[in-house]
Every structure is written in C-alpha cells, then in structure tokens.
Amino acid sequence: MRSEMSVQSLAAPGFFSDLQAFWAVVRREWTIFVRYPSWIIALFIWPVIFPMGYILTARALSGVNGTGLATFKQTTGLNEYVGYIAVGTMVWMWQNIVLWSVGGSLRNEQMRGTLESNWLSPTWRFSYLLGSSVPQFISMLMLMAIATLEYIFLFNVKFEGSLWLSLLVVLVAIPSVYGLGFAFASLVITMKESNAFVFLVRGIVMVFCGITYPIAMLPDWMQSVSKWLPQTYIIHGMRTAALTNEGISGIAFDLQMLMVFGIIWLIIGYLLFNRMERRARKTGAIGQY
Amino acid sequence: MSEFAIEARQLIKKFPARAGTGDKATETSPKEKRRLFPFRKRAPKPMFTAVAGVDLQIRRGEIFGLLGPNGAGKSTTIRMLCTLLEPTSGSATVNDFDIVKQANDVRRSLGTVLAGERSIYWKLTGRENLEYFAALYHIPPAVAKKRVDELIERMELKDRANELVEKYSTGMRQRVAISKALLARPPILLLDEPTLGLDPQAARNLRELIAQLKQEGHTILLTTHYMEEADLLSDRIGIIDTGKVIALDTPEGLKRRIDQKEIIRLELSGWHDDLAEKLRNISGIENLTTHQQGEADLWEVNMQAQNSRTAIPRIVENISGNGTRLVNMNIVKPSLEDVFIHLTGKALRD
C-alpha cells in the first residue's frame, strides 16, 4: 500500500456541491432500482393484473349485454368503465408505491446499515428524500405510459381526452403525493414499522377517494371526508383529462385544490422530517434497527 | 488552531431507559413517585446514562485508542463526536468546531468508519460507492475521479473495482469503507472497530495502513476490542468503563501501573467454578479471569499476584486432588489486557 503526503481537505462546500450530492442520490437510487429484476414485473405486469379484479367485477355487475352500464353513465357521464377503473387504480398504485418506496426509503437505508454513513456527510439531509423520489417518479411515469398502451391494445380502451392535460394533472399532483411520502418517511423512521401505516393510508384512499366508483355513491359523511383528501382531486382530474373532452376548464378546480394540498403536504413533510432529524440526534434513532 | 484535534469536556449522554435499565437515581417506585411529584400527573421518565462525563483531549497527529467492554460508552462517545448524537450536557470540539453548533463543519473535518462493511451499498460496485460518497462529501467531480482512482489503487481494489460489493470478501468491503472515510482527505479519522471480522492477514494490512495514515498527519481515534492492536498502534490510550474515562496514558504508562504485580498464567483441564473461589481466596491473588481455549477441556486462567513465590505453592495445593490437572504455568509480563482487568475488574471480551 503506497503512502501519500499531506492532509488537506478536498471538500468544496456550496450550492453546486449540494446539487451534485442530490444528483448522486438520484443516480444511486436509479442504479440500485434497475439492478433488482423485479422492476420488470412492477412496470409491465402489475398495472394490468391489479385492476383486473375490479374490471371483471364491473363487467359481471353490468349484466350480460352491458345493460347496467346505463346507470354507470348516468352517475359518471362516461361509457368507458374500464378506463374509469384503470385511471382510479393507477392513481392508487402511484400513492401506494410512493408510500412503500419513498416512505420506506430512510427505513430501508437504516436496516441496510447505510443511513448512518449518509448522515455522517455534510450534505443537506432532505436531499436523501428528494433524491430517492426522482427515480421513483420516473419509474411511475413509465408505469403509467406502459399501462396506458396495455389498456389501449389489450382492452380496447378509448382515452378520448388529452395526454398533455393528463400529464399536467400528474405534475400538479406531485407535491401532494410526495409530501405525504416525506411525512410518512419521517414517521416510519421514528416508529420503526411501516406496514400498518401503509395499509391504513392506502385503505383510506381506496374507500374515500373513489378509485373504482364515483364519490357520489358514498354516504354524505364519507363524501365530506373525501373532500379533504388530495387523491380525490387527482383521480377526478385524471379521469376528466384522460377520458373526456372537457379541456382545461374541466380540471381547473382539481388543479387549484391540488396546488393548495401540495403546499400543505410539502410543508408538513418538511417539518416532520426536520423534527424527526432533531429527535433522532437526541435519541440515537438513526443507528437503531 | 488548537493543539487538540478533539476536545471533550464533561460529555454526558442519557437515554430514556427501558424498564429495569434506568439509573438508580431515576428509577423510582410508584409510591415514591407520588411522594416526590405530588402535583404532576406523570413523574419524569427514568433515564439510562450511557456516557457519564467524558473528558478527552486528543492531540493533532496522534493515534488515540479508546478501549472499553461492551456497553462502556465508547460507541456513544464516538457517535456524539461525529454528530450522529447530541450530548445531553457537556461540550466537545472537533478540529475546533463545536459538535452541536457547527455540526456540518465537524462532518467536513471527519472521516468515519462505523459499522464497517454494512456502511456501503452492496448493490453498487466499489467504484460507484466511492463516487457516490465523494459527491456527498462535496468533492468537485474532476478531483473526485482522480481521488477515487488513487484510493482504489492504494487499497489494492483495482482488479475488482467494477464488481458489485456483494461479491467482495469482508476484508475488501472494509477497505471500501475505509476508502470512503479517506475520500475528502479529512484531518481526523474515527475508526470504530476497523479490524473486526477480518482475517489475520487483512487485519495486519489494515494496521499498517493506520500507521501510515498517522505518518501522513491524520489524527486517528480508534476503538478496538483487540488489546494488542491498541498497544501496537496507539500513542495514548483511554480506558472507558461505565461511561467514564477511568485511565488515560501511553500504553507503557498504563502497564507501569501494575508493574509491581506479577501475572500468573495457568493452563488447566478439569476446571470447575469451586476452584475459582478457592484461588480467589488465596491471600495476595486478585483479578482472576478464565477463558476456555476452543472446544477442548482446556482453560486459561490469569491472575495478578503480589508475590508469585508465596502464591504458587498455595495455588498448586488448591488445584491438586479435585480432578483438575495443571498443564502449564507461566509468570508473564503485564499486558494491556492485564491493565484493563486490573482497572475494570473484567476482561475486554466480557
């Protein structure tokens, strides 16, 4: 082993260094993601398999010749019940994956033993959460694109709306979906267990946000709860943008609500993260499995 | 710039205690709680003191060994110094930066090896790991590339640098973890059990590297379970027990403390606990420890004696006739292990 000469730190702190660190987290997360072959199942198979049960149930309930679809159209204004379910389940899958992957990202690092070695560096701590969200979002966009193609070619679904408006809803929904993920990640690192929380949150989304049925079907008190959940607006906005020709005016209210929820959830996520970070320094929670 | 790379003053760390593990002063019975805190619904939570007032002054350029049995407080002390934990009270500086108020400057001054091979990503290659951590330590990309190449070469990882870490041996993973700590060329290194789990050759190579790093001007705080390692590498050693530094000196200075005592080392077969009691009762014998050698019925028994000439006949007398056989007996020079036993009353592996 050769020797070297002097001890002169090579670190050059600054905004660009933090940006470079953030990008390194993104690259690391993406590299590890593609090295587990299960991502192929997640991208190609799950988006079709998961809604299948709901679609077949709907087909059975609509009657042999689809006579029951008139009632569905009366409530939703749509004929395309497969597309209706596909959009709802896709949003549910997005939130579900964010809860597992972004919400569990710090906990996974903790169990792997790498959280402390990240925490020992002078990088802005929030970069780890932000950085782990980017590859997750990219894979989610891929999942949505692949799922859309699969529905068009396998189920003959007609997405009559606008691709760009659908993308706009997705973009505006990012702060709400990921803000919840950040808050979740901070709670999980303190509670050391994520399963029960994930089941609770996704159960609430499933029941209250109308992933397979219109909110109008719910009792009044449940509809009141739905109004406080951003996923309700994501699902409504996505359905309107992808399945109808209502244009921007049809999703304007959803977009406004998502912006408000986005700000609130990002603030909650950031505050909870900072609180967890301070608490962990006092209790030693970062190094505990 | 202070002459000390690390300075700790009355560093204390307390954690909320689990049932039955709290400090005596804070564990109170329900009746006592009602008496002490009549107007509070809940009495203060019992606390467990992991570090009970550590004072340390580690000079620039020295290797400082921190020794202590499991649960003595050495890992908690290291975790406070590298900013993973905030002290309950007291203060410390690393490279003249306060560990609470200037935590990021402290992190920039330190290269830390904690948890060894688990501190790196097994699904990344050795090179990818180093490139990733170089970015976290804010090393400019052009410099980082050169530095990663240098460290891969130095740590003899060149042939396997582009393989996933999961395919590496423990020794190779440990070398990646140490390279990670050296990336930003920090003036101070904290190495927590760096040779744990390594084969003898890999451990020897690592000890050589640590000695080289000192020659290059790094200050090194080293914790280890291996006394010979601490003796060989450290300029000074602090012995920590029950959260306090109970002795601090050069290895030679520590050994001089029990120079007037002799260490009697026996190898026996047919050992039984009654015999330990009998040997402890011999006048002038203290700090008796036993250690079974492998699976066989062969035991190593160490004890300190004021005068071996008077003690040995009594020892032999007690051993004979109880199914115990004396295989070997030596009077040896005190080692650091004996100093440790003398000071703490227990072996380091306890």
Domain residue extents for chain A: 16-281
Q: Chain B within 8 Å of A15 (Cβ-Cβ)? A: no
pLDDT tens per residue across span A171-216: 999 999 999 999 988 888 877 777 888 888 889 999 999 999 999 8
Q: Is the pLDDT of residue B212 over 60?
A: yes
Does residue A287 sit at the B interface (CB-CB below 8 Å)?
Answer: yes
Q: Which of A86-100, A166-180, B62-76, B266-280 has the highest mean pLDDT?
A: A166-180
Q: Which two tokens stand for residue B93?
A: 């500086």
Q: What is the DSSP letter of B139?
A: -
Kindly compute the dihedral angle of the four CA atoms of residues B91, B94, B99, B105, in this order, to the nearest 10 degrees: 150
- Put simply, the answer to whether A7 touches B217 (Cβ < 8 Å) is yes
CB contact residues (below 8 A), chain B span 245-304, against chain A: none
For chain A positions 27-66, those within 8 Å of chain B (CB to CB) are 27-28, 31-32, 35-36
- Distances in whole angstroms, Cα of residue B207 to Cα of each of A92, A148, B58, B194, B217: 54, 59, 20, 9, 16
Mutation target among A19, A38, A121, A278 for the B interface, most CBs of B within 10 A: A121
Question: How many whole angstroms separate alpha carbon B162 and alpha carbon B181?
Answer: 19
- Mean pLDDT within B265-294: 86
- Residue contact B84–A281, C-beta within 8 A: yes
A9/B121 Cβ within 8 A: no
Q: Residue A39 is which amino acid?
A: W
Contacts of residue A122 in chain B, CB cutoff 8 Å? 104-105, 107-108, 136-138
Q: Do B85 and A284 touch (CB under 8 A)?
A: yes
Give the number of beta-carbon pairs within 8 Å between A and B.
Answer: 142
pLDDT of residue B333: 77
Q: Is B158 within 8 Å of chain A by CB?
A: no
* Spatial contact of B210 and B43, defined as CB atoms under 8 Å apart: no
Question: So what's the pLDDT on residue B24?
Answer: 57
Higher per-residue confidence, B99 vs A49: B99
Binary contact (A284, B123; C-beta < 8 A):
no
Q: Which of A6-20, A95-109, A171-185, B37-51 ranks highest by mean pLDDT?
A: A171-185
Contacts of residue B178, Cβ cutoff 8 Å, sequence gap at least 6:
B113, B155, B191, B194, B206, B209
Average pLDDT (B10-35) is 71
Write out chain B residues lying below 8 Å of A189, CB-based.
none
What is the C-alpha to C-alpha distance for residues B146 and A41, in angstroms, rounded to an integer?
Answer: 39
Contact B279, B312 (CB under 8 A): no
Give the pLDDT of residue A181.
Answer: 92
Average pLDDT over residues B269-276: 84
pLDDT over 80 (residue B37) = no
Residue B176 has pLDDT above 50, yes or no: yes
Q: How many angstroms separate the CA atoms of B298 and B266, rounded?
A: 10
List the end-to-end C-alpha distance of chain A, in Å, as a whole number: 36
User: With the CA atoms of A150, A155, A158 and A159 taken in that order, what torsion angle do they form, in degrees rounded to the nearest 10?
Assistant: -40
Give which of A2, A9, A36 to mutate to test B binding, by max B Cβ within 10 Å.
A9
Torsional sign, CA B248, B69, B173, B141: negative
Among the listed residues A71, A91, A47, the one whose alpha carbon sits nearest the alpha carbon of residue A206: A91
Which of B86, B154, B185 comes nearest A8 by C-beta?
A: B185
Q: Is B38 helix (H, G, I), strand (E, B) or coil?
A: coil
What percentage of residues in chain B have a pLDDT greater than 90?
49
Q: Are A161 and A247 in contact (CB under 8 A)?
A: no
Q: Does A284 touch chain B (CB under 8 A)?
A: yes
Interface membership of A274 toward B (CB under 8 Å): no
In the sheet with B188-192, reading across from the earlier edge strand, the strands are B110-113, B188-192, B219-223, B63-67, B236-241, B244-249
What distance in Å separates the CA atoms of residue B336 and residue B249, rounded to the nearest whole number?
11
Say what percent of chain A tops pLDDT 70: 97
Chain B closest CA to A37's CA: distance in Å?
A: 12
For residue A131, how many other CB atoms are within 10 A of its CB? Answer: 21
Between B107, B186, B212, which is nearest A1 by CB? B212
Most confident stretch, A102-111, B88-97, B169-178, B223-232: B88-97
Of B138, B141, B209, the CB nearest to A11: B138
Does residue B222 contact residue B233 with C-beta atoms inside 8 Å?
A: yes
Residue with tokens 């609180």: A275
Q: Evaluate if residue A85 carries a pLDDT over 90.
A: yes
pLDDT of A38 reads: 79
Compare CB distances from B108 to A3, A11, A114 and report the shortest one's residue: A11
DSSP state of B213: H
Alpha helices in B22-140 (DSSP H): 30-36, 74-81, 103-109, 126-136
Selection from A149, A128, A121 nearest residue A28 by Cα: A128
Specify the 3-state DSSP secondary structure of B31. helix
Chain B residues in contact with A114 (beta carbon < 8 A): 118-121
Q: Coil, strand or helix: which one is B242?
A: coil
Cα–Cα distances (Å) from A131 to A5, A29, A55, in that order, read 36, 8, 35
**pLDDT confidence bin for B271, thresholds 50/70/90:** confident
Nearest to A114 among B107, B119, B128 (CB): B119
Handedness of CA A254, A259, A260, A261 (dihedral sign): positive
Burial class (CB in 10 A: 0-12, 13-18, 19+), B27: middle
Q: What is the dihedral of CA B145, B147, B153, B158, to 10 degrees?
A: -30
pLDDT of residue A5: 40
A28 → closest Cβ in B107, B124, B138: B124
Q: Which residue does chain A place closest to B114, by CA atoms? A: A117
d(CA A176, CA A258): 7
Give the dihedral of Cα atoms B252, B256, B258, B259; nearest 10 deg: 110
The structure's pTM equals 0.82
Which residue on chain B is closest to A14 by alpha carbon? B138
The burial class, CB within 10 Å (0-12 / 13-18 / 19+), for A164 is exposed
Which residue of A9, A13, A116 is in closest CB contact with B115?
A116
Q: Is residue A288 within 8 angstroms of chain B, CB to CB? A: no
Residue among A4, A5, A24 whose CB faces B135 most closely: A24
Is any Cβ of chain B less than 8 angstroms from the Cβ of A160?
Answer: no
Q: Which of B119, B177, B187 has its CB closest to that of A7?
A: B187
Q: Are A84 and A76 in contact (CB under 8 A)?
A: yes
Alpha carbon distance A167, A162 (integer Å):
9
**What is the band of B255 on the pLDDT scale with cuts at 50, 70, 90?**
confident
Question: Distance (Å) from the C-alpha of residue A202 to the closest C-alpha of chain B?
Answer: 30
In this prediction, residue B39 carries a pLDDT of 65
A117 interfaces chain B, CB cutoff of 8 Å: yes
Do the chains contact at A282 and B187, CB–CB below 8 Å?
no
Whether residue A35 and residue B123 make contact (CB cut-off 8 A), yes or no, is yes
Query: If pLDDT is split at 50, 70 and 90, which confidence band does B283 have?
Result: confident
